[in-house]
Structure formats: structure tokens, C-alpha cells
Structure 1
Amino acid sequence: MNDNGVRDWYIVVGQQGRANFERALQLKTWGAKTRTKFEDEAHTAIKPGDRVHFVLTPKWSGAGPVPTGFPRIGLDQYIVRADEVVVRVTEAIFEDTQPIWDDDVYPVRFRFEIEARHDAVRFSPGLIPDTVRDAVRRSLIAQGRAISVESAGSLRQAIEEVLSRYSEATRQPFSHHPVADTIRETIPEMLSSWIDPNRYTVLASVGRGNWASVPWVAILDLNRGGNIQSGLYIAMLFSADLSEVVLALMFGVTGGRGEAPRRVRQSLASQVQRVRRGLRIGGQTWRMDSDVQLSDRGVGAQYGRGIVLYQRFSRETLPTDNQWRALLNEIVDLYDRAFDVLNADNTLSAEEAPSAYGKAPFDLMAATEEMNKLGYRINPAALLNVLLSLQVRPFVIFSGRSGTGKTTLTRMAAQLFGWPYYRVAVSPAWADPADLLGYISPVSHQRVAGGLDALLVSGNDEALLCLDEFNVAKVEHYFSDFISAMDSGHGSAFWGPMPGLERLASDSQEILMCPPNLRVMATMNFDDSVQSITPRVLDRANVIEFDIVEEDQLVVDHGLDWTALEHMARFAWPWTEAADRETDEAAEENIRHIWRALKGSRGQFGHRVAHEMARYVALGISYGDVLSWSTSQSREVLLDNQIVQRLLPKFHGTASHGDIVALTRLLSQLLDRGDVGEDVDRQVLLQDAINRGVFPRTVGKISRLFETYTEDGYASYF
């Protein structure tokens, strides 16, 4: 801001907004849907005389590939090139609903005169001030919000806004409130620019459905695992009376649901004391006591029990941004040292529960041996198949006769990775998502709990849900909200928004949520009493069969030790987000051949299934050495699994001649014979495949489909 009070603002215009911007230049008017797009965190708005710098479609301009997480990267890494148009605001913000642009109204507007144009400006350190580059970065992240140079990068100003305006905000609607945006977006963006985004993630919450009494921002180490409920993390906590903000290293205090409260409290206190003793820090800079009372009610009242060390600041003693950066460096170092303390001795006393960060690195053979010791018979390849299926899609269906170990395996998987476990027996009467989620009674106006009530109120980040005998009712009816949310998950979350659940939470004024990392295992039987599974459901799951008990197949031993199950070794999940980006070009080419073979049949599949099949194979190949498979053998085994589990289940039912021809073409592709005509003898192909021993699971299943189709025109997969 200069002496006349004139501000410089930066607004990023993305590729999709370029057409609107050209129109704006003609009319000398720019618009947005809400006023907050033209305000900073202190709600100072663009005014006449201010300069606005429109930055057009910034592109990465640094050396090497685009950094992971771009544009959410550190400011020192942020190097982009873009055209710039500088304008002078001539008229205060006003509202007008007269259509100007083709795609939307954008009623909040300001008028301007063009001052200058600059082509291919390089926003890089040394050439452009950091405050300007930060304003451009933040506007890009906030999808075109106006960022003033004066507010860019000011963590202190953002925290002051929360302390001064949060109380007022809680009396206003929750959704899209500027103060909520400051906590959930602005502060995390600033903190992310000071830490390594490839190692740490920043989370924030102002509540779910209702304003939280103690809003928070948290930093978690992605390489160490853990979660907000029971893990170790760095937290910025705002007291309920808004008199102070606390920067703390703490354990989650909402984990351990279902355990005795006394045991949970003892375990938490033991962990806190162990880290305090191990860190051995002296002086008065960081306090290590329990003298933190952020609220007198709710979860906020419990946070003090989980705090290892902290510093507290009133509005008058808030650090400057440089001081915040130094404090963050200190506490991140203490965070790393705390994990060293925890990992130095993972042997817990009888009163201590296993911790999220005390999990052993995943070892396929050790995990298999652990399950077998407890009486559950499973081979390493079968366990790997289940885990890969869960990795590429958080929904797996176990099919088979009663008593083959389907439900037992769901419980063992939860124990193996330390996930909270929820089992729901599906009712034949279920016909609507409300049967799972609950509903608001039109008589009492109170929420009536559904089958998933314990899960929805748990507050867990991770969980495993077993839907037992899930096809006794029509799955696509009662599970429809989950099917839709499964397709819209993004980033590290498996599930996207569930409008029905969000409406229910809003109407009931309760905190209800689907754990973002929820994994669902559904079990089903096939007899005359159950519903068929539609292609919409089959297209979104791996279907894993539990067949008649034979050697090397999944089987439950009668001596399964349920007591020992509670104390079995727990492992970290095998794959990270980075590993999930691995590819295998040979597998992708094979999948394209399979697509061509099945095109036009009921087994035809789309981009999503192809992508997930390729991910499954790419991730699984790395376990070939463990299982003594060559690369080509690994690829065949994994593709064999995917054809049987993702594609062939859709052939169950009344089959057409075209479906049988497609399966014949598939056999030919698997035998490397290329395309074949309709007159080829499918039994000859089938016998050749059997003799050569290629893709044994697929060949065996196609043989059954051919046999049942020949006998009665009904192809039976199950």
C-alpha cells in the first residue's frame, strides 16, 4: 500500500476463464459470484484507485518437471511464467445481474481502465518480490480470488482474523464463510509454503455441519502414518473463548472408541509421558505440562490430555511471520525426534494400546505367517490379491458359500492394519440410503439412526466396514450414495461428497461423517433368497471368490484363536501415494487387447476400470521376488486375477451369442493368436489354453461360462 492508501491486487485467470477475460477487457468490467472473491482476510475490499494485476494462465517455468503438489508448493520453489494485464479500478464494487458472460452471471463486479500489458512475465525469486509471487500463488490455489500484496504471506494477520471474528462467525451460516475459509485454506496454504509438501500434509477443521468450539490446523508426517484421532501431530489450536492460540505437539484424543475409557486415558497419558521423557528439552521456551484448557465442553475440553509440549500466545503477543517460521522449524524438529523416541521401544505394557506409529513396515510373508499362526489359512498370493484390490478401489466383494471364511477375513484385515472395524448385517427390507445413513423423523423431527450410525459418529479417519450378506437387498438402492461418492473421491480421500449425509448432518445438527479412508468389504452368498448384482455395482469392485476348501485356497481353521486376534502384530499399509503412480507398459498394452476382445459384449469396460486394472498389476509386480515369480509370470498372474475379478462377473446371467463370441476372442488374445472370426471352434481354443496352462483362473471360469451357456443358455459365473 502506498502513501495514498492504494493497494496492488493479484487475480489469476485460468485457462477456462480466458474467454470471459477477453470479454471483460472489452467492457472494462470484471466479476465474481461472491464479494469475498474481491476481499482480503481482513475483509478489506478492492476500491477505486487500486491496481489489479490480472495474471493469465500461469505455467510452471522452473527447471525439471512440475513439482508434486503444484501449485501447493513452497514459495522458494514457485517459478511460473504468465502474461499480465494491469488495470486501475475506476468504480467501487457493485452488484448487477445483467448477463455479460456466456457461462454465468458473476453479479459482484468492479470497473477499470487498462494501464499496461506485459507478455511472458517470469515470476521467479530474485526477479519478482516474494510478496508478489506469493499473491500469485495464493490466487491460483484459491481459483482466482483477489490477493493483495499487503496480505500475501501474513500468517499473523490470518490468525488475528480468526481470534477477532470467529465468535461472530459462529452466529452465521456455516457453509463458505470467509472465516472458515481462512482456517481451512489460507492458514494451511501459508504453513504448507514453509514445510516440505512431499513429506507433510496440513489439515484443518472448523467443525462438520456446525462450528467447532475449538477450531484447529494440524500438520502430519506422511511418511510416519498416524491420524488425527490417535496419532502424533503438530497442532495450532484456537481456544473456545478466543483469548489465545496454542502451538502444540500432541496426540489425538478421540481414538480408542469401543475400549474402556480408563484404559484409553492411561494409554494416552503413558504415551505423552514417554515422549516428554525422551525429548529431554530444558528451558522455558516449550512448556511440557497439562495446563492447557481450551474449552469446558466437547472434544475441545480433552485436547489438553494429549499435549506433549506447547507454546501459547494471546492476541497481544502473537509472533511475527518470521517468528512463526522459526517456531515451526523448531516444532517440526521436535516432531521428528518424538517419533525416534516412540520407535526406540515399541514394546508396550499391558495397559498400553498399540499406537498408530508403532506399526511395523509391511512384510507380506510375516503378515501371512501371523494370520496362519492364529488359525486362518491363507497363502501369500491370496493375501496380496485382497490388499491390491483394496488399494486400487476401496470396495471389495467376497463371494462364496457360507463358512468359507469371508467375514472372518474382513475382521482379520482390520486387525492386521489396526483399523477400527464395523460389521453391519444387511436387512432384506433395505431399499434406500436412509437404511444405512438414517433419516429425520417427520413426527419427532429427530434423527433416526441407520445401520452405519456407529461408523458415522466415530470421527475416524480410517476404518473397515464389513457389509455382511450385502446382496439380500438391492445393493444399488441402499448403497447408491456410496457408489456415487466412490467415483468422486480425490487426493488421499477414497470417498467424495455424500449430499444425503451432509443434509442429514445439517438437519440433525450432529457431526456425521464417512471416514475419508473407509474401506468396504462386502460378503455375499448365491441362492434363491438373494438379489442379483447389477453391472453398476460389479463395475466398481473386485469380486473375489471363496471356493470349496482345497489346498492353497482360503480356509478358516476350526481352531481360530479369537483372543489372540486382539494382540496380533499390526502393519503399516503397504503402499504410499507415490507408489500408486507406478506403471507397467506391457500390462497396459495387454489391457488394450482385452478391451478390443470384449468390445460390444457385456464385459466391455471403460477408462476407469482399465486404469485400476493397470494400477493393480503395476503395484503387484514389485512383489514378484517375494513370491518367486519372474516379471512376466507376475504380470500374467495379476492380469489373470483382474480378468476374473473385474470383467468376467458381468457375464453372469442370460447370455447372448455375442457374449460367447467375445469370450472366444478373449481366449484367442490370451493365447497370442490375435483376432478370430465367429466360426472358430471355441472348444479347441479352450483345450489349447488348458494344455498350455496360461491364465488358469480365467480359462477355468470361461470354461464354466461356456458349459452352462451350452446346456441352458444361462451363463453362470458364481
Structure 2
Amino acid sequence: MALPIALTNIFKHKQKSYKMVLVLCLLDELKKGNPSVTLDTLKQKFLTYYQNREAQGLVVDPPPSKLSKQWREITLAQIHHIIQTPIQALSQILINDRDHKEYGFRPEILEELRTPQIQELSEYTTQELEKYFDQLNPSVPLRDYLDTILSTYLETKLQPFKENDLGKLVRQTIPIDLSKLPFFPDEWKAQGSVGQGNWADVPWIAIMDKRITTTTQQGVYVVYLFSQDMSAVYLTLAQGVAEPLKQGKRVGYEYLRRKVQEIRSIIALDGFQKDENIQLTAKGIGEDYQVSTVAYTKYEAGNLPSNQQLLTDLHSMLEYYQEYVEYSLADDTTTTSESSISSSKKEPLLVNDSDVRETIDTIKTYIRQRGFHYPDHLIENFYLSMKTKPFVILAGISGTGKTKLVKLFAEALGATSENRQFRLIPVRPDWSDPSDLIGYKDLTGTFRPGPLTEVLVEASNPDNEDNVYFICLDEMNLARVEHYFSDILSLMETQERKDDRIVTNPLISTNQLGEDDRVFYEGLFIPSNVVLIGTVNMDETTHPFSKKVLDRGNTIEFNYIQLDNFPDAEEIYESDSERGVPASFLSSEYITLQEAYKDYSNLIKESTEKLIKINLVLENIHAHIGFRVRDAICFYMVYNERFHLMTKDEAFDFQLLQKILPRIQGSNLSVKRTLMELLKITLGDPRLQVDELMGDAALLYELDLQKEYPNAPYKQSSRKLLYMLRRLEEDGFTSFWVS
């Protein structure tokens, strides 16, 4: 005989065993002819059930960890609070007296419960209990796994990333074991991550229902999140933040918070925290997780609950997750809510500061696996140089991989020739004016766009403003840069903010355009999602750079080559050409120093004080810098500190090498003195006797920097200064450039 529907549905969402045990206690009294039972009796029977099962060594839900680890230590007073949860959960089938001292089944339920039905319901409850306890599979050592990550991750981060045992544990072993749990449906998938190419600050292990999401970048899923300092791990019901935040932080946060409230209104989430107090990192993605988390429970490192409790909590969270999934599939809520983001007013997509490091590590992995190896921090330096000013010069001898670096860097971010976000423009020796790049008005009065203009038109399209565009001017100094590129350089200095965007003055004057051309080219400017990179070979066939060019960009030298570098044998990562990264990853954020000064005043003052000392030296040969160079160096230092890419000394060393030393050239004694005075600064050795070395500086050439100056603050610049000094003495002339 079938049970009433109200009774067959009471265990649909178990969460814990409490509801089923409470029903068994009531049925036991009903078999004795007692339609109701006092609360004290109910509490005693409830506690006795767990204590007996625990004493027999059987699997059982542990008591709440804040009370005790064992049921035998639980008192009736404590049971009073525990039992209230199942009583409330069963309120549709239970009734109590006015004083809440007696409980029983509702009259309409009792009418359908005769002796056969009581026995059937009792057997059904017992079966459901055993099925539930079977699912608390102690063969998955979840506690050991979490403890291993919490206790060893910080130390392991100091080790090589590739083929690390801890990485395999998180990415392979744990997801495989979780998928073997009895309560893990075929529609779900488990996935773990410790970063891509380099260690992540916040490793995670996620469980997703493939019917609503297959990526942690969007949708709702269950995920273990580890705090950056490894002090705790959180079991959370969370949302992916990457896709929502592509619409801007304000719009993204509004969506995430709205979704949190929606989910909390759908499912009860009893037993879990429902606030924004999850603490993962000091800033950045930690704040994103706070906003996106629907519910969570926190486990402190060194005080993890039992393996059984962890599995019980996971089962409960997954039960709630499954309830949400069923609701979403029935109502198509996910699709509706997700699409509501797109209907919002479009804002520039933002990149969290905390994500920059991981993105750069991914770029480095992509480049390395294609057989190209560059010196330490060169990729970070290349990124910071583009971020500081969207004009970078890559200089060096032929065949060092300058053009390839630009192409691979762009590919790693999803910018390719195929999607027209990467454009290689070979410079011709006969270029003598900007028309070769920008375009010209022909004899018929029609404007013929140059290759640069074609890219700018596409990049300026509002639909493309969040895509980054790379323009590589190959062999840039085969022609005189000042002749064909001067208009572009001047235009870069006209940047201003307009309607929340950084724009420049128009690229093409109106008198260059015919009537039909104006719809395409009038008002065209250099948008902030475009980066210009020039590659140059410094030899006798090329033209030198003027200070006007050097002041307006970073010059990165390529002269250190290691021929025995080969492609990695590990799996090759493909570029994410469909998603890419938002243009804000590379776009400059500051136009004036005042914009950065509020948050980074100490760093800006410190960097400026160093530049003042250097400028006093440079004044002797009229090579001192102005405000433009000072601001650019300060911006570089600010971005480096924001993204935690290098030490301050390493970053400032790159700026000396790229913004200061290229200005120095000549053949007189003043140049020699300047080089040695700068060497005192870069070595950090005020005792260096410049006057004594002016006659013969040969002792300096024999310096072993690593041995004699292991703590020199600016080693790269010191090495370059020694080269320039030696060249001056041997050739009678020196410059920054190798030729």
C-alpha cells in the first residue's frame, strides 16, 4: 500500500540524518499507541539513537563541531538546540501543542497511518537512513587532502610548478576521488586548480553540474576555496566572477549580488553562513569572492573537523546545489539572469589587479612552450612598458626573437592575424612622411587609408573597444622614425579623458578627407586599446633615434641569447582566442601623475628623489630628463607595485636601462665622467673614486659584479654602463646601442 505523498517527499532533501531520525522516534512511539510524545522524551530518544550507533562504530553524522566531536559528550540541553532544525524542516507534517512540549503527526497524516502504513513508513525511513549513511563514504580521505594543501601549499609555491606532486593532488587525485562518491551524479564534474603555469594565490576544487556550467568563470557551482595565507579553507556555493565582471565592476557586482539573493530565496541553505565575510585575499579577487558567494562554511587550518563531518557538509551543500540546478533547469532562470547582464549599459571590462600575475604567467608558459626563452622578468618588463605607455621599442641584433615576442605575446592574449587584432607592418626605407602609415588623399579626392589607419578604424568600433589590438612596426628604423612617425608621437601626447574613455586629438585633418570619407575617418583617434611596438636592428644600415622618440616609449634591448633553449615537452597550451583578455589589461590608466599620486605618493616621491640625483649627473652632458620621462617612470613603478611583479630595485633597474641610458652618447671626457658617476649609483658604491679612474678605467672592466657587488641595486644598468665605458675608451666614442 502506497504511502501518502506528503510522507514520501519528506526526505527528498536530506541535508543531514536529523529529519529521518526524528521521524523514526515518532514512529516508535506511534507503534506503542502514542500519537504524540513529549519534547523531553523525543530529545532522549533522538540522542540515544546517535549514541548507540556511535558506540557500535557505525557511520553517523557527527554532532555540531562547536558542541563536541562525539555524541556521548552531548547533553539533553544541547540536543534541545540541535533538534529544533529537523522539527522546523518537518513542520508540514508535524504538529505541537500550544506550549511546544508535545509533538506528533498532523491529524490528516494520522488518518492515513494505520498499522501497515506505520510499518511501511518505518521501513522506508530506515532504508533512506542507511542509503544516506552509505553515502558518507569514509574511503575518500577528504580531511587528509585538505590538510595536506593547507599545511604544505605555501612551502610548495617556492618549488617548480611543473609536474609537482601537490599540483597533481589538486588537479587529478582529488577530483577523481570526489567523482567516485555515491552522491556524485553523472551530470557533474569535479575540477581542481593551483594555477596555470605558476602557482595561484587562491587554489580551488570545484564541483559543477555540466547542464548549467562547465567553467568556473561563470554560473553557479560548489567550490572549496583556500585562503591566500592558508589559514582556512571554505566550502562554498559560489558564482563564477570572470564573465559577469567583463561588464565592469559596478554592473558585475550588481548582477552577482542580485543572483545571491535570488538563490537564497529559492533554497534554504540551513547550516551554512550567508554573508560576505569570506576572507581569501587582502584585495582584488578576494572581494569578488565575497560578493559572489551564496553560502559557505569555514574550516580553520589545524582544526579541521572529522572526515565524516567534512563529507556530511559536502553532501549537504551538494543537495542544496542540486535543488538549485533543478529549479534553474525548470524555470530557465540561469539563462534569463545571465542575459540580463548583456542588456545592461555596456561599461569597459576591467581586470582585477590580483589576476594580472596569473595572466602573465600564462603568457610566459605559452611563449616558453613554443621554444622561445627570454631572460628573467623580460615578459613582466614588456607588459609594464606597454601598460605605462602604448609605445615600446624592441632593439637588438637580428634573430633574437623581437618580432616573435610581439606575435606570441599577442597570440597568448587571443590577438591574432586571423581575427585582425595583430597587424605586422614592415617599414620601408623610402618612407619619408606620415602618409605611408596614415594614408593620403589621391588625385580624385578620395582618402586612401594607410595600414595604421585601417587598424585604428576597427579598434575604434564600439563593439571592439574591449579587444586589444597589437601593431608591430617591423624594422622600424630602416627609415627615419621622426619623418614618418612624428605625427603619431605627437598625437599620443594629446590624451585626455572623455566619456570615461581615454582619447587623443583626431588623427586625420578634415581637409585630407573627401565628403564620402568623413563617415569613416572624421574624428578618428588613437584608442586606448591599441598598442604600438617597433622592432629595430641597431647597425650601420639603420638610423639612430632622437630624444623625442626615446622619451615617448620604453626601449627594451635584446642582446642576451641562450642558444640551448628548446621547446618544453609538456602539453602545449593553446591561446584563448575566443575569450582573450579585456583591453584594460594593457590600457594605460593614468594620464597625469596626479591621478596616481593619491594612492602611491610615497612610491612616487621615492622614485622622484632617485631621478633627481641621476638628473644632476646627466645635466653635465645635457642629457637630463624632463617631466614626461619622470611621469612615465613613476607610472611604471606604480603598476609594478600594484601587480606585485618585481622588486622595486628590479623595476627601477629596467627603467634606468630603458629611459635613462639610451640618452647617453658622445666621445668627450664629460661623457666618461657621467658614465662613472652613474656607475656609482647603480652599484650602490659611493666610495668609487671617479677622479682616480678618469685616466684609466681598465680596473672597472675586470669587475665581477656577481662576486664583488652581489648587493648592487641595479645590476643590469651597471653591466650596460661598463660596456659603454669600455667602448668609449677603446673606440673613442660610445652610445647605448650595439653596432
If you compute each CA radius of gyration, which structure gives the higher value, 1 or 2? 2
Task: Report the structure, 1 or 2, having the larger strand content.
Answer: 1
TM-score, scaled relative to structure 1: 0.46
TM-score, scaled relative to structure 2: 0.45
